[in-house]
Amino acid sequence: MIVKIKKLHPSAVIPTYAKDGDAAMDLYAAERGEADECGNMVYKTGLALEIPQGFVGLIFPRSSISKTNQMLRNHVGVIDSGYRGEIILKFGWFDEATAPNNAVYDGGDRIAQLMIIPYPQVDFIEVDELSNSDRGSGGFGSTGQ
């Protein structure tokens, strides 16, 4: 698949796969993060994408985030195919009282992962009844009983 990408910052790094067979590409910070008015740490990638129609870009935190007190604010970022702006990530703190005053990541650091996948177009049909299944309406933890 070909995806057009535009560098918006001179130090922006094109996403790369770390190893053959990886599902997601690493995203890099273009510069050191800065706090916003809501207390989030904001990291700019310096990149904009042209994701093809019928595909979506999903942004996930890297597993190394477990070494920090940060979390991706929206947990999974969604980049729709019509979006042409800069990819920006916002991180928050698990414990606001211990949030450091400085960014955890600097320019050039790998900060997240990007996966571009196809998605179906869904049409809902309202019905009075749904078919039965083995699970039924069992929710939270019901399959482990």
Q: What is the mean pLDDT of each run of 10 residues along the chain (145 residues)?
A: 96 96 96 87 95 97 79 89 96 69 80 96 95 80 67
DSSP string, 41-63: EEEEEEEEEEPPTTEEEEEEE-G
Residue 111 CA to residue 28 CA, distance in Å, equals 5
Domain that holds residue 18: 4-144
Measured distance CA(98)–CA(39) in Å, rounded? 12
Count how many domains the chain has.
Answer: 1
Q: What one-character DSSP code corresponds to residue 16?
A: B
Q: Which helix (H) or strand (E) holds 116?
A: strand 110-118
Q: Vertex 7, ends 90 and 22: CA angle to 5°? A: 65
pLDDT for the residue 5:
98
DSSP 66-111: GGSSEEETTSSEEE-TT--SEEEEEEEESSGGG--SS-S--TT-EE
CATH of residue 20: 2.70.40.10
Place of tokens 């997240």: 112
